[in-house]
Structure 1
């Protein structure tokens, strides 16, 4: 059986095409279950199907053990949903990474997001040993090889494996010039789109975008749905490169309807970012049911 036999429904517009033709692309993400039952996560994906262009499937996010993302990504293709398979270097060496990418391609999964991965010490198995044979750039190199019909050892494959390759960038990095240099390296290694860390300070994001005007690679700005002022403060203290302005924290703290306030804040941020980038990547963290309202508010449905 060839990958053509297992490919996505021909009526579904690929993420590659959407990035080429749409003014503003919307992606979101879901976490595979911690257990064998996929019912809830697939119901969540089905609810979002008509609102987003693609759905990331995380790879044991936060180094917390969960079902392998390739399974959920494959199920998404059967629902005519574009999956973006996240793959990290934390749990696999280069042999396993390349093997998993080939398996994904055979299952009709053609969108991949390359990440280094969180430290196991931060997750629910702190005694686990991280592999980190390849970091994000190493995974990009492996994809570049597979797309050319070879593996990393330069052995020839029986056919090239074509992927749409994504990477991550942090507009809030302290050393922004170093971050931009690393971004250029990722582009040179074949990155075709970027998703960013969560954006709350749109002025900071605008400054970042002005620094990369010569880059033509689509940027999807990250958006984290705030659930409380306490969560906002936690993000500031613990999530590298995230800057939730005091005004937003105060607004959340004073709210007597946190859900509506979060929707309003998220809608406002998207409206501000629309002229700056190619799309938004929404990280709802359990509040996926509020994504449709945000997109309706911003005329993105």
Structure 2
């Protein structure tokens, strides 16, 4: 009997986890490669599930694609690994059950790590192996990213008539990580041709049952459910799933009552769990109707629209805008930092921006410093957020905290690696890149958490992206700007530039960009400072002329500082006709330098306006 016919007739039992059992045997490596090196162990796992009552088993190919195998240097063995996996599964299945060729999702929380084109190419290679070895179905599992699932589903439906099982995964019950409700996602998957639609992984039975309560019976497809055994525990350095199989027996019946016709297990499940599922629901006639509880309509309340000041991307679109970086101190003496913040406020800057442990060296928390200067001096702070120091939990918590404090200007950066800082042995987290962080901050602006869960209200972050023009290939840097705009960046602040020619080159390369760019200018303090920046700081390059000018005054610190300001003023002169936004970087808390440059910009802007007004031209 064909698989779809069987599913229309009765409830089928899927298998459980492969990796969990292999891991329990002490094998902790690329599980897909074991199809070649430990074929007997893989075969025995399949046989154990068939013996337990599974009627459809999955090939051990979840990560057997080019992208994931490349992590182990096995990308050239896609065909061998998939072929071996299918042969092992078919050997174990015999004529007792169906074999589904498993294809796992590639994207997790990081959307930009792997492009959709790479995913498609990788999937086609794996799919052709499965079609050649004649599996009974294609099973997509653990897809957090709906765009990815729809892309591979489209290819599968075009290339084969085999049944397609398509399963999404959720961080939170009832919603995908982009906030799409589960019922809407499954309906979309069904409408794109999947024969079986469902959920697997991440959630245990309790939350999976809860999520399916709001999902109606599909019109054309059938439902599937493969829950994890439970939430994992961490014991003596190993992950364990303590759920009693008897609990799974009761849970399987509840999943069946929610309309699932194909029920198996995911992480942590064993043949004992599958045996319990089979004892509960195997062979049961599918339910034909289901009542989905109506969503309670919350009474409409009048929304209070909070007044807010114009944000930095809006200001730079209308007039000359100045932001000044004043980094929090490395030591606990804060007097000079607050003196500088006050002086910059009095000078009339539009924002004071605070780096997030720049150059991987610890400083006073920029959130604490930003909150204090906001409260003390009514300064609009722009807080940098680095992906280096916080995992996903910490990043979302940090952003929720900023929102609660009333801080809504942020710069998303990947962050300098820890190797260049004070603690080279510290861990660089990098759960996200700056692209991903921009994307998820904008998701918070929709009132949706990183996991897809509603936050109760929308944040209102204006998100800046970093721009480094000090590279060999400026067009590539501009390409990064364009990509960040696609991910949601509102405006950009650049690394400091040190030549008038470079300013013109940057303008020519970015004049098609609609998002405002704040051009970076950092006054030099000495010849040694110039040489350090040029030779040792990533992303900064000084011209020979600038270094020679600073060297002339290497004997006198006061004259060196004056020359540094003079160089900065000449750069500002070149920038004012081309960029509405200027980004001043304060060196070593010497705020007097950036206060002087702020005053200079304002005076030049005033003179520029007066000249254009006299000529009958209105300037914005």
TM-score by length of 1: 0.91
1:249-268 mapped onto 2 (5 Å cutoff) = 249-255=547-553, 256=556, 257-268=559-570
- Counterpart for residue 159 of structure 1: 457
- Counterpart for residue 50 of structure 1: 346
- Counterpart for residue 218 of structure 1: 516
Contact 2:443 2:449 in 1 (8 A): yes
Contact 2:525 2:587 in 1 (8 A): no
After superposition, the Cα gap between the structure-2 partners of 1:230 and 1:137, relative to the gap in structure 1 and judged at 3 Å, is same
- Aligned with 1:40 (options 336, 339, 345): 336
SS of the residue 2:406 aligns to: coil
Deviation at 1:167, TM superposition (A): 0.8
- Counterpart for residue 401 of structure 2: 103
- Aligned with 2:389 (options 91, 97, 104): 91
Deviation at 1:74, TM superposition (A): 1.0
- Aligned with 1:288 (options 591, 609, 616): 591
Partner Cα separation in structure 2 for residue 37 and residue 249 of structure 1: 33
- Aligned with 1:238 (options 523, 526, 536): 536
- Counterpart for residue 112 of structure 1: 410
1:148 aligns with 2:446: yes
1:270 aligns with 2:270: no
Partner Cα separation in structure 2 for residue 176 and residue 292 of structure 1: 31
Deviation at 1:235, TM superposition (A): 1.8
- Counterpart for residue 68 of structure 1: 365
Contact 2:442 2:461 in 1 (8 A): no
Partner Cα separation in structure 2 for residue 276 and residue 249 of structure 1: 25
Larger Rg: 2
Deviation at 1:197, TM superposition (A): 0.8
Deviation at 1:37, TM superposition (A): 4.8
SS of the residue 1:50 aligns to: helix
CA deviations 1:144-185 (Å, max 9, x no partner) are 110111112211111110111101111121222221111111
Q: How many residues align?
A: 293
**Structure with greater helix share of residues:** 2
Partner Cα separation in structure 2 for residue 294 and residue 221 of structure 1: 14
The answer for unaligned runs of 5 or more in structure 2 is: 1-303, 607-620
SS of the residue 2:352 aligns to: strand
Deviation at 1:35, TM superposition (A): 4.6
- Counterpart for residue 324 of structure 2: 28
TM-score by length of 2: 0.45
Deviation at 1:32, TM superposition (A): 1.8
- Counterpart for residue 169 of structure 1: 467
Q: CA RMSD in A?
A: 2.0
Tell which has more relative contact order, 1 or 2 (C-alpha 8 A, sep 6+).
1
After superposition, the Cα gap between the structure-2 partners of 1:35 and 1:253, relative to the gap in structure 1 and judged at 3 Å, is closer
- Counterpart for residue 503 of structure 2: 205
Contact 2:550 2:560 in 1 (8 A): yes
After superposition, the Cα gap between the structure-2 partners of 1:33 and 1:147, relative to the gap in structure 1 and judged at 3 Å, is same
After superposition, the Cα gap between the structure-2 partners of 1:213 and 1:34, relative to the gap in structure 1 and judged at 3 Å, is closer
The answer for unaligned runs of 5 or more in structure 1 is: none
Contact 2:374 2:380 in 1 (8 A): yes
